[in-house]
């Protein structure tokens, strides 16, 4: 029983990171109807931002850790806006396929730029937050796991607040429903899209830093697999749907952990994640929480 709850906790802390990345995919999809494949590499840049910031702040302090997190999120928000401005905005009126291929190009560019600037060798990530170990009825909980779950929950609620309660959030939903009508009522679509990218990239940066805190070895290709998993999570939960992305991420993290800890199936964990994606697309293409919107004529 202890093993079960320990695995559940392991799965939730892994799933929380998938959820953070999945939120970025889902938000951009919700507004622009395309998958931003460069998202997983912004995740990597976030981890490297944390790595370099770690040199300037004292290690093992909560405020230092939160400050590094905030700066890394800001850096990636700016990066997200720049990527959107340079790579995606010129293609605004082009078919979605063109933008999709551009996104893959930006992803490869970031990966290779990362290898060029940071070197391809994995680096040890500093311990930014104080590390303590809690033991609760035989279940071991590291403070880093709590930080991951806590930060994810906080960001999730902040995101929900922004999208549902603020003016810019209302504008985001308007652009997502109908960009033309939104611009007719005076919404600056470009501004809203830039804001969406900033928000999504900041979440990716948070995900990257939290991932690196838990698995302290970072390299320029570290985003590829978590990015793919988060994409699966976003589709699982219903792409374009914010609570869906969070649910999909947690679900995927838990399933993956239980498969990984099983006796004979651990080598199939990636296969199972993608099999889940295929099953979901076959039987419920809109995802767990997504809903079909009928094309109106």
Partner 1 sequence: MARFLSPALCVLWLTLAATAQDNIKIGEYASLTGKEAAYGDTSHKGTLLAIEELNARGGLLGKKLELLTEDNQSKQGESATVVKKLISRDHVIAVLGEVASIRSLEAAPIIQNARIPMVTPSSVNSKITEIGDYIFRVCFVDAFQGQVLAKFVGTTLKVKRVAILTSVSNAYSVGMTKIFETRFRADGGLIVAEQKYAEGDKDFRAQLTAIKASGAEAIFASGYYTEAALICKQARALGLAVPIFGGDGWDAPPLLEIGGAAMEGTYFSTHYSPDNPSPAVQNFNQRYQARWGTRPDAWAALGYDSAMVLADAIWRAGTTAPAAIRDALATTKDFCAVTGAITMDSQRNASKSAVILTIKNGKYKFVSAVAP
Binding site for partner 1 (CB under 8 A): 2-3, 6-7, 10-11, 14, 115, 119-122, 124, 133, 135, 140, 142, 144, 211, 214-217, 219, 222, 225, 256-263, 266-267, 270
Q: Which lies closer to partner 1 via its Cβ, residue 243 or residue 261?
A: 261
3-state secondary structure of 218: strand
CB 201, min distance to partner 1, A: 22
Rounded least distance, CB 204 to partner 1, Å: 17
The smaller minimum CB distance to partner 1, of residues 183 and 260, is found at 260
Could you give the C-alpha distances from 237 to 138, 240, 245, in angstroms and in order? Answer: 32, 9, 5
Nearest residue (CB) to partner 1, 34 versus 258: 258
For the CB of residue 86, give the shortest distance to partner 1 in the complex, in Å.
28
Give DSSP secondary structure letters for 133-183.
EEEETTEEEEHHHHHHHHHHHHHHHHHHHHHHHSHHHHHHHHHHH-HHHHH
Q: Which is nearer to partner 1, 208 or 290 (CB)?
A: 208
Q: What are 139's strand-pairing partners? A: 136
- Per the DSSP assignment, residues forming a β-bridge with 140 are 135
Q: How far is the CB of 222 from partner 1 (least distance, A)?
A: 8
Closest separation in Å from C-beta 206 to partner 1: 17
Q: What one-character-per-residue DSSP string does 48-68 give?
A: HHHHHHTTTS-TT-HHHHHHH
Tallying the residues shown for the chain, one arrives at 297
Evaluate whether 11 touches 255 at the Cβ level (below 8 Å): yes
Cβ-based nearer residue to partner 1, 126 or 169: 126
Q: Which residue has the tokens 């931003």?
A: 36
C-alpha dist (Å) from residue 64 to 30, 58, 70, 92: 34, 6, 10, 40
CB of 174 to partner 1, least distance (A): 39
Rounded CA separation 178/174 (Å):
6
Measured from the CB atom, is 134 or 157 closer to partner 1? 134
């Amino acid at each position: 029983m202890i093993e079960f709850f320990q695995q559940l906790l392991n799965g939730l802390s892994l799933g929380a990171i998938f959820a953070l990345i999945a939120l970025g995919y889902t938000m951009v999809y919700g507004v622009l109807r395309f998958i931003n494949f460069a998202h997983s590499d912004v995740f990597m840049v976030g981890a490297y931002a944390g790595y370099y910031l770690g040199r300037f702040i004292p290690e093992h302090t909560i405020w230092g850790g939160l400050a590094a997190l905030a700066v890394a999120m800001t850096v990636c928000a700016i990066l997200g806006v720049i990527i959107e401005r340079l790579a995606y905005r010129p293609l605004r009126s082009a078919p979605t396929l063109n933008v999709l291929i551009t996104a893959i190009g930006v992803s490869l560019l970031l990966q290779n730029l990362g290898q060029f600037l940071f070197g391809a060798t994995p680096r040890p990530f500093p311990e930014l937050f104080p590390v303590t170990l809690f033991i609760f009825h035989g279940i071991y909980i590291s403070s880093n796991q709590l930080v991951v779950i806590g930060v994810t929950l906080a960001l999730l609620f902040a995101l929900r607040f922004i999208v549902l309660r603020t003016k810019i959030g209302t504008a985001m939903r308007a652009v997502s429903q109908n960009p033309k009508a939104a611009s007719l009522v005076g919404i600056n679509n470009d501004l809203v899209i830039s804001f969406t990218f900033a928000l999504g990239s900041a979440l990716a940066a948070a995900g990257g830093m939290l991932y690196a805190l838990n698995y302290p070895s970072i390299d320029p290709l570290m985003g590829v697999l978590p990015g793919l998993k988060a994409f699966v999570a976003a589709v699982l939960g219903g792409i374009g749907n914010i609570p869906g992305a969070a649910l999909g991420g947690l679900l995927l993290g838990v399933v993956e952990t239980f498969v990984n800890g099983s006796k004979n199936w651990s080598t199939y964990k990636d296969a199972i994640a993608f099999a889940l994606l295929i099953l979901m697309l076959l039987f419920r293409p809109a995802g767990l929480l997504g809903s079909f919107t009928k094309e109106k004529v």
